[in-house]
Structure 1
């Protein structure tokens, strides 16, 4: 027998007023906001609720509240006494949000409940009545909703990276002198895509091809007069503007637009992607070059490779001739003139090294910004924490190797992967988990198990609240781990905390060896 919880009618709900919240992401959802609303109203009718308000976020991701104006308006109405309803009815937990931290979804629901407004999920098979059973099911569904988006993000990134390696273009304007060409799944050309046009068949792909001859000639002229005549980007931009030549976006040339032509590898046929990332709609990250996804010689080049390398050498030499102090003085003068800093502002500055030069010299733009006293609006402290933890990783490994040796064990370390082989019997990977404070003030940790190396045991050091030292360790055997990514709270229940230890003494006892006398 199948129990339909939605059929359970309640007489005490008659005459109650409710609001509905509906959301549909930009991906293809099985249920549109109209279908969600129909299910919500059927549920409300059975429970005796009257829908008096509708809050709808069309085409909005549930990963965060960014851009979800209706959702934030709903929360604001509830907390500021403007809500003329006693309940909010949502289709299911995932429509409330696919937050990566399930506590974030709980926080918004708690804020509503404290204001006297209940949140009800009409399609989920539980009553949101605060009971132990419903709380457990709801938490599981929140985790599953967040995991869905995470898994989808991983799959999408892997698919896009694969297409890049096969030589296909992944979004973005082609650039001056280049054009986008639509090809079918067999690589046969189907036609050129103009600005604003996109492919309509899922199996079609896009590649870059040389553009009009006059644009190609201008690109080559830019390289020639920069390399051979020694003219600066600003001088080249002024000359192009004097000839009434516009960029591919129909705009006048600037120092920055010329500079981008001189440093972009697509002009020598290389397909480079993932210089930056914005996974799960979190922080924009500028990735290290070794993390870029690339395919060399993917497109037909329009600039000679030797000419390209000469141009890059000239640009790189600008910073090599300057001391750190001189570069920072130039950066400080740009900050004084503009009141802020960004990569574009730096690239537009005359007589100044490029933003990539600052990144290379000082490790990151954020580090250079800090040295001249500039703090961006966004909080990028996590980058410094990650850098500190990466520096700590070799020390932790060295301590573990020393601990194994102290109990008579033997360990071999792979210099490329840091994978440890203990006593020639089992392999160990060492990971450090950065602590993160949630918006609710609790601590969280995330661990990505190394499925490529597939170690027999993972030692995960869980850092303290200041990320200064390990607070404890998890010894995670491969056979018992079913997920590639683990998200840990301060207390995780027996299923995970059974592997938690305050020190590594238990691990060292596993690795210990004792000398035995040889039998006669």
Structure 2
């Protein structure tokens, strides 16, 4: 029997249309259990004279991409190979087919089934999947909504994780050699030490780090002494540890990269650091620059003295300064030519190669270093560079607006968690940045996303210029007139949009100057 596939044994009804059901459940949406989906699908089949002869199940699988969904891959393979003994595919709804970030990808997999002569039916949707213009439009919207749900959820989860980091709690990942994960309750009282593979069971519990066994702490500090006093390289230290039959926290041999991790990770001096690497929405891993890290100093009990740790960092930085830009690029180009591919892991595990942090520090980002040697990753990373700039620009604009209103005698209260501004206790504003997107043929587009969870009275949309480096103009959008989650702006817009357009924020500042304001909403 193939993985994720079951047969239904029983008396066949030759007069009924034969179908396979596809069900999927991601671990964070238990209300869409495979049993509930299957019950609804069977109700639909009974009402429409359909016999279900095959079941494909992806249990606990994300809908963001097809790679890890063995059952969906198997079903498409069966359909295209001609071995399928059914002609209809029943799915609960569009989101169970997938939450692909590109709606066209979702349509592509359905098209492959239809091209092979199989009909795909979404049993819980309010439209017939009959290829009509209406169903095509609705499906496109539903697919986009399914992907957008994952994007919005990712942003909210990330914001919540950042907040917990700033409160001193650990967010995912192994503790590391010499450290242990400890479960604490909502009052901060220690409950139990977590073994590898164990996780919290209560929503209110949190995880912190604490020093591990004394012998591991001694090894960590010995590692630092070898590096500082004896001048050993990471590879030489790894060789010594392996020669002493000392394994890493994962039970593996030490490598250049694992030693470098211990020498550079601030958790060993008690700092809680998050977002060093991004892996959102199942995209490729991205090593972020230090300005993007979320950090809480003194969150845990340190096991390495501060002066020892920063001495090691000084040695690493001094070692980096010995390389000229030309030497760094030459080494990276040579590695690319010999391996045919580049990644942070390949760079850090190659003897004689400077670490990825050196490249990111010297050239602004690892991606820029890749570009200089002619390596282009599968994914276009240019938007990441823009995102870094936007993260710096947004708080700057919020701060400027806050200072300007204060200077005019207005009263501004800013929520530090959301940057929502409350003006004169009369109305609230949220500032959002609208990135300029190039559509081709010299056309440009700006998408404005409203933070519906904050429900500001006015959303100030700062439309950026074509370089995404400066403000082009401003839209003051009241919630009463714009209750939708997002709008799209072009270079020329209808009057219902452009009536809210301004070249500066002077009009907003004038509103804040009033002595009495009638609340907008």
Quickly name the TM-score band, shorter chain normalised: 0.7 to 0.9
Following TM superposition, by how much is the alpha carbon of 1:473 offset from its aligned partner in structure 2, in angstroms? 8.7
Aligned counterpart, 2:435: 433
Give secondary structure in 2 for the equivalent of 1:294. Answer: strand
Task: Check whether the contact 1:181–1:192 (CA below 8 A) recurs between aligned residues.
Answer: yes
CA distance in structure 2 between the partners assigned to 1:229 and 1:174 by the alignment: 27
**1:433–1:304: structure 2 CA closer, same or farther, 3 Å change rule?**
same
SS in 2 for 1:149: helix
Q: Is the 8 A contact 1:269 1:298 kept in 2?
A: yes
- The aligned counterpart of 2:517 is none
Provide the secondary structure at the position in 1 that maps to 2:24. Answer: strand
8 Å Cα contact 1:226-1:311 kept in structure 2: yes
- Work out whether residues 419 and 428 of structure 1, in 8 Å CA contact, stay in contact via their aligned partners in 2: no
Match in the other structure for 2:40: 39
Cα contact 1:435–1:462 (8 A) shared by 2: no
Which of these residues, 432, 450, 463, is aligned with residue 460 of structure 1? 463
Q: What displacement does 1:390 show? A: 6.5
Aligned length: 468
Q: Aligned pair 1:278/2:279, yes or no?
A: yes
Partner of 1:8: none
Quote the residue 1:66 is aligned against. 67
Indicate how the Cα distance of structure 1 residues 385 and 126 shifts in structure 2: closer, same or farther if over 3 A, else same. Answer: same
Matched, 1:214 2:215: yes
- Cross-structure match for 1:203: 204
Question: Deviation string for 1:234-293 (max 9, x for gaps)?
Answer: 222222223222222222222222211110000000011111222222343333323322
With the length of structure 2 as denominator, give the TM-score of the two structures: 0.76
Q: Which residue of 2 aligns with 1:7?
A: none
Q: How far is 1:344 from its partner?
A: 2.7
Unaligned runs of 5+ in 1: 1-12, 398-412, 513-520
- Structure 1 residues 371-382: aligned runs within 5 Å: 371-376=372-377, 378-382=378-382
Q: Against the structure 1 CA distance between its residues 115 and 498, is the aligned structure 2 distance closer, same or farther, given a 3 Å change threshold? A: farther
- Range moving further from structure 2, 265-274 or 134-143: 134-143
Q: TM-score, normalised by structure 1?
A: 0.76
Displacement of 1:164: 1.5
Equivalences for 1:353-502 in 2 at 5 Å?
353-376=354-377, 378-383=378-383, 386=386, 431-433=433-435, 435=437, 446-448=447-449, 457-460=460-463, 475=475, 477-479=477-479, 480-482=481-483, 486=486, 488=488
Change (3 A) 1:295 1:452: farther
Q: CA RMSD in A?
A: 4.3
Give the corresponding residue for 2:180.
179
For residue 26 of structure 1, give the secondary structure of its aligned residue in structure 2.
coil
Q: How far off is 1:312 after superposition?
A: 0.4
CA distance in 1, matches of 2:30, 2:344: 37
Task: Name the residue aligned to 2:27.
Answer: 26
Contact 1:237–1:258, Cα closer than 8 Å, also in 2: yes
2:17 maps to 16
Asked if residue 258 in structure 1 is aligned to residue 259 in structure 2, the reply is yes
Shift of 1:384: 7.1
Give how far 1:445 is off. 6.5
Go from structure 1 to structure 2 and tell me whether the alpha carbon gap of 1:79 and 1:437 turns closer, same or farther (over 3 Å shift). Answer: farther
Deviation, structure 1 residue 184: 2.0
Residue 153 of structure 1 and its aligned partner are, at CA, apart by 2.1
With over 3 angstroms needed to count, the CA separation of the structure-2 counterparts of 1:22 and 1:209, relative to structure 1, is same
